[in-house]
Amino acid sequence: MKIEGNGITISYDICGDGSWFTLVHGAGDNSGIWYNQLPAFSGNYKTLTLDMRGHGASGVPDGPYDIDAYVSDLSALLTALKVDKTVLLGHSLGGRVALAYTMCYPQRVSALVLSNAPVAMRDREAAGQRAGGQRPGPQPVTDMAAAIDRRISVFFSEGFAAANKDVMERYRQIDMRSSPEGYTKVTQNMRQAIAQQPSVDELASVVCPTL
């Protein structure tokens, strides 16, 4: 399913019944990555998965690809679906987006789960320097299959990948749903997105149950 929101096409799926549970994937993935979790969560919740901008079947605008844009997209989707309150789970970049959404709209989040997510910086100036450092950013991607193989070599040990070829193939098929253009735009803007982290003191504004 798709809606037009915040100036882009946002692709999403809903599974199950009950109170809302929203899953936000990490950079380079898409809503398909939750295939292991969906059967468990949808048995108790109305579970919403989405493709963030630049990922999967969602739009690939020229920009921006920062946390504010991802949060605005999420807000547009939840508003369009009339989701007044939801449990929010985010993985990696999705966790950063989920945290920022919770801080912007505390009344709309009943609980927050952060999985392997960059959360806060003690030194914002240092974060900004890292974001604007001298190291070259990722090069444009033209071959998604090769890009995914590089991801697999980073995220999975050689032994695990060799022993779980079916899992690796499913991972490839899921990430192939994204376009080279979208993958490039997302990865080339990752440093700036990650640098947009709150200070440790600002985390006190998160008042909902958080894991």
Q: State pLDDT tens for residues 170-184.
A: 999 999 999 999 999
Dist CA 66 CA 77 (whole Å): 17
More confidently predicted of 123 and 169: 169
Percent of the chain's residues with pLDDT above 90: 84
d(CA 185, CA 188): 5
What ranges in 38-123 are assigned the alpha helix state H? 38-41, 67-80, 93-104
Check residue 136 and give its pLDDT: 54
End-to-end CA distance of the chain: 29
Q: Check whether 209 has a pLDDT greater than 90.
A: yes
pLDDT of 129 above 90? no
Average pLDDT over the chain, rounded to whole? 93
User: In angstroms, how far apart are the furthest CA atoms of the chain?
Assistant: 49
Tell me the C-alpha distance between 108 and 131, whole Å.
30
Which residue matches tokens 């033209």?
142
pTM of the model: 0.92
Residue 130 pLDDT exceeds 60: no
**20-24, 106-110, 155-159, 192-196, range with the lowest pLDDT:** 192-196
Radius of gyration for the alpha carbons in the chain, expressed in angstroms and rounded? 17
| Spatial separation of the C-alpha atoms in residues 209 and 57, rounded to whole Å | 32
Residue ranges of alpha helices (H) inside the chain are: 38-41, 67-80, 93-104, 124-131, 144-155, 158-163, 165-175, 180-188, 190-195
Q: What is the pLDDT of residues 65-108, one digit of tens each?
A: 999 999 999 999 999 999 999 999 999 999 999 999 999 999 99
